[in-house]
Structure 1
Amino acid sequence: MESFDDYVRRMRGRRGPSEPWQKLLVYIPWGIGLLLILGLLFDGSYTVAPHEQAVVLRFGRYRATVAPGLHVKLPVIDQVMKVSVEEHGLRLPLGSPSSGENAPGSVEGSRPLEEETLMLTGDLNTASVEWTIAWRVTEPSDYLFRFPRDVGDEGANAFASELITFVARTVMNRLVGDYSFDEVIGPKRSDIANEARAGMQHILDEYRCGITVTALQMQRVVPPDLVKPAFDRVNASIQEKQKLENEAEAQRNKLLPEAKAARDKLIREAEGYASRRRAESQGEIEALLAKHRAYQRAPELTRQRLYLEAMQDLLIGIKDKTIIDGDLKQLLPLLNLNTKGGRDQ
C-alpha cells in the first residue's frame, strides 16, 4: 500500500515544482499529533483551590474526593467536579445571607416584616424570633449528587439555602412551641439554639445532603410591637420587684449577722450565769452538808455557833443597838451603848 510520503513524492514528480502550501502537507500529521498530545496533557491535570474539594467521577461513577492542590486524572475517562467547602451564613426566617458586615439582614433597614418572624409559644402567646445559621459542605459527594449541578455553584447553594431555611423554620417553630413566652425570651434562649442546631443536623443527615450546621445563634427574640409597651411595663415592674428584693436581701444580710451575734452574746451570758449559779449552789450545798456533819458530831456546840453566826449577820446591819437583861424586872433608863461618856462617837 502506498504511503502518504510516497504519494507526495509521486505527485511532485508529475507536477514539477510544488507550491509552498504543498510543502506544509508533510507537517500536518505531526501538528495534529502534537495538538492531541498537548490536549491530553492539559486534560490530565487539574487544580483544586484552598476553599474547594473535588469529586472525581470515572465513567460517571464516584471514585474519590480529593483535597486542595494539583492532581492528575485520566484524560477523557475521569470527570472532575469541584465543590466549595467554605462556610456560608443565613439570617432567618427569610433566609437572607448573613456572612459579612454588609450582608442583607445585618442592618436595621433590611430586617424582615414582623409578620414573618412571629411564632406561637407554648402558652399561646406570640414572639418575634430571628436567628442566624452558619453551614458548610462536609461531604462533597453527597452534596454533589443531592443538588443539581447544571445551574452552577451559586444555583446549588441557592437550593441548599432553601432546604436549610425550610428545615430551620420547621425545627424552630416546633421548639418555640414547646416553651412559654417568658422562657423563650429569657433563660431558655441558649437551650433552644442548641436543640435547634441538633434537630436541624438530624434532619439534614436523614436527607444525606452532605451539609453540616456549624453554628446557630438567636439574634432577636422580642414581643410583638402591639404588646411591647405593656411588656415594657411588666419588665419595669419585675425589675422594681427584683430591686426591692435585692435591697431586702441586703438588709437581711446586714441584720441577720447582728441578730446572731446578739443571740450568741445572750447565750454566752446565760451559760456563764448558769455556771456561776451552779457553782454557788454547789458551794451552799457543801456548806450545809458540812454544818450537818458538824451538828451530828456536836449538836449543842453547833447549835450555839449557828445562833451566834445568825445574830452576827442580823445585828451587823443595825446602827443603834440596845441590850436588855432578860432577868430585869423593871425598865432601866436607856443605856446608850453607842456613846462614850454620854457623848456620841
Structure 2
Amino acid sequence: MSLNDQDPWAKPGQNDPKQPENPSNKPDNKSGWSDRQDNKEQSPPDIEEIFGNLLKKLGGNGGQSNNGNNTNLPKNLNKLAPAAIALAVVLWGLSGLYTVKEAERGVVTRFGQLHSIVQPGLNWKPNFIDEVIPVNVEQVKELRTQGAMLTQDENMVKVEMTVQYRVQDPAKYLFSVTNADDSLNQATDSALRYVIGHMTMDDILTTGRAVVREQTWKTLNNVIKPYDMGVEVIDVNFQSARPPEEVKDAFDDAIKAQEDEQRYIREAEAYAREQEPIARGDAQRIVEGATAYKDKVVLNAKGEVERLQRLLPEFKASPDLLRERLYIQSMEQIMSKTPKIMLDGNGNNLNVLPVDQILRNKNTQPAAEPSANQGTLSSNELKSAVKNGQNSHGQTQTDDRSISRQGRFN
C-alpha cells in the first residue's frame, strides 16, 4: 500500500482496506465518531442502544464495553426500556391534570413569567414547566385598620375602620405589586389619617361620622388607582372613634347633650307634622262655615227683599192693615224666642205664674212614673210656682206688666 492511497486526515489503520474492523479495539477508534456519523446518515439513533449504554455506565464500567459485561446484562433489558419510557411519559402527563374551583381563577406562569389565566374546571399543564396559582375572585375580604390620629384642632382620637374588598384582576393582584393586601392596608391607613387630619374632633365624634366614611372611601380609591393592584373596594365601615381616656367623660357628656338636642328637634318636628294637618283642617272648616253663613245671610236678605216687593202693592192699597199684619208677624217671631209668664193681679198683690218653668220641670220628670193628673197642674205646684215667680222675678214682672199695658204702636 502506497502513501498516496492513505487519507492524510484519517487515523492510523483506518484507511487500510485489508485491516479487518474491530469494534472492540479502542486504540483504532476511541470515540467512534466515524461510525456514528455513518449511522446518522443511514438511520436515526436507536433508543434501545442509548438506554443500554446508560445502564452500562451506571453499572460501574466507566463507559467501556467488553464482551464479558455484555453477557451479564439481562437479555430482556432492551425490550423493557421503551415500556419504562412510555410509562414515565404517561405518569408525567397525568401529573399535569388539575382543577380550578368555581370561585377561583388560575394564573399560569411558564418558567416564572405570566402566561395565561384559566377558567374554573379541569385543566392540564406541563409539569416542571408551568405553575398554576389559584386566586379567589368572589371572596369578600376584610381589612381592619386602627390607631391614634391627630385631628385638625390638634386633638388625639383613636379611630377604627374596616375595608371590604375583593380581587378583580388576578394577574394584577399577583404581579402589579409585591403584596397587594399589605399595600391596600398601608393605603387605607394613609387615606384615613389624611381625612382625620382635615376634620375637627367634635365632628368626628358626633355628626361627621358619615363624612369620614365617604371621604375615606373616595381618598382610598384615588390612592390605589395609580398602583393598579387589581382589587375593588366594596365598602368602607367607620367602626368607632374614641377620645383619650383623660377627657373621655367630658366628651361623653357632650355627645349625650348633642344626641338629646337632636332627639328634641325630631320630637318637635313630629309634633309639628301632627298638628299642622289639624290646624289646616280647622282653618278650612272655619272658612267654609263663614262662607256658608255669608251665603245664608245673602239668600235670606234676597228672599226678604223678594217678599217685601210682593207686599208693596198691598201696602199701597191699605197701609194700616199691612202695618198691623207686619207687627203681628214680628211679635210672633219675637215672642216665640222669649219666656212666657202669666200674670193675675187682684188689688195691690201681683200673682206670677211662670209657665215655662212649670213645663220645663214636667219635662224633666222620668217617663217611667205614671201620673193620674198628667197634663194638669196640682194646687201645690201652682202655689210653689207662683211663690218662686214672686220672689225671683218681682222687678222683671213689674216691667213686663208695664210693657204689656203699652199700645201696639208706641
Q: TM-score, length-normalised on structure 1? A: 0.59
Corresponding residue to 2:254 among 224, 234, 238:
234
After superposition, residues 78-117 of structure 1 pair within 5 angstroms as 78-85=129-136, 88-93=141-146, 116-117=147-148
After superposition, residues 172-191 of structure 1 pair within 5 angstroms as 172-177=192-197, 181=201, 184-185=204-205, 189=209
Secondary structure, in 3 states, of the residue corresponding to 1:208? Answer: coil
Contact 2:100 2:106 in 1 (8 A): no
Matched, 1:319 2:375: no
How large is the RMSD of aligned CA atoms in angstroms? 4.7
CA distance in 2, matches of 1:69, 1:81: 13
Aligned to 1:38: 88
Corresponding residue to 1:120 among 151, 161, 165:
151
Residue 183 of structure 1: how far off its partner (Å): 5.2
Corresponding residue to 1:133 among 147, 156, 163:
163
CA distance in 1, matches of 2:75, 2:211: 79
Distance 1:204 1:48, change over 3 A: farther
Residue 186 of structure 1: how far off its partner (Å): 5.4
Distance 1:284 1:126, change over 3 A: farther
Matched, 1:73 2:93: no
Distance 1:25 1:169, change over 3 A: farther
Residue 194 of structure 1: how far off its partner (Å): 5.2
CA distance in 2, matches of 1:120, 1:135: 27
Secondary structure, in 3 states, of the residue corresponding to 2:226? Answer: helix
Residue 292 of structure 1: how far off its partner (Å): 4.6
Distance 1:203 1:293, change over 3 A: same
After superposition, residues 269-284 of structure 1 pair within 5 angstroms as 269-284=289-304
Distance 1:175 1:11, change over 3 A: same
Secondary structure, in 3 states, of the residue corresponding to 2:300? Answer: helix
CA distance in 1, matches of 2:323, 2:66: 178
Residue 61 of structure 1: how far off its partner (Å): 4.3
After superposition, residues 41-52 of structure 1 pair within 5 angstroms as 41-42=91-92, 45-48=96-99, 50=101
Distance 1:176 1:310, change over 3 A: same
Aligned to 2:173: 143
Q: For each residue in 1:121-180, what CA deviation from the matched residue of structure 2 results, as whole angstroms up to 9, or x when unmatched?
A: 5x76654321122344443322333345xxxxxxxxxx3333112211222233445556
Contact 1:117 1:130 in 2 (8 A): no
Matched, 1:62 2:82: no
After superposition, residues 205-216 of structure 1 pair within 5 angstroms as 205-216=225-236
One-letter code of the match for 2:305? I
CA distance in 2, matches of 1:126, 1:239: 22
One-letter code of the match for 1:209? M
Corresponding residue to 1:11 among 67, 82, 91:
67
Distance 1:292 1:34, change over 3 A: same
Q: For each residue in 1:210-230, what CA deviation from the matched residue of structure 2 results, as whole angstroms up to 9, or x when unmatched?
A: 333344322223444343322
Secondary structure, in 3 states, of the residue corresponding to 1:216? Answer: strand
Residue 9 of structure 1: how far off its partner (Å): 9.5
Aligned to 1:289: 309
* Structure label with greater radius of gyration: 2
Matched, 1:217 2:256: no
Distance 1:259 1:207, change over 3 A: closer
Q: For each residue in 1:46-75, what CA deviation from the matched residue of structure 2 results, as whole angstroms up to 9, or x when unmatched?
A: 525537543334465432112355433345
Identity across aligned pairs (percent)?
Answer: 20
Residue 243 of structure 1: how far off its partner (Å): 4.5
Contact 2:151 2:198 in 1 (8 A): no
Contact 1:83 1:144 in 2 (8 A): no
Aligned to 1:305: 321
CA distance in 1, matches of 2:312, 2:229: 108
CA distance in 1, matches of 2:156, 2:262: 25
Contact 2:105 2:117 in 1 (8 A): yes
Aligned residues: 279
Distance 1:211 1:310, change over 3 A: closer
CA distance in 1, matches of 2:234, 2:303: 85
Contact 2:108 2:130 in 1 (8 A): yes
Contact 1:47 1:68 in 2 (8 A): no
Q: TM-score, length-normalised on structure 2? A: 0.51
Distance 1:134 1:24, change over 3 A: farther
Secondary structure, in 3 states, of the residue corresponding to 2:67? Answer: helix
CA distance in 2, matches of 1:166, 1:306: 109
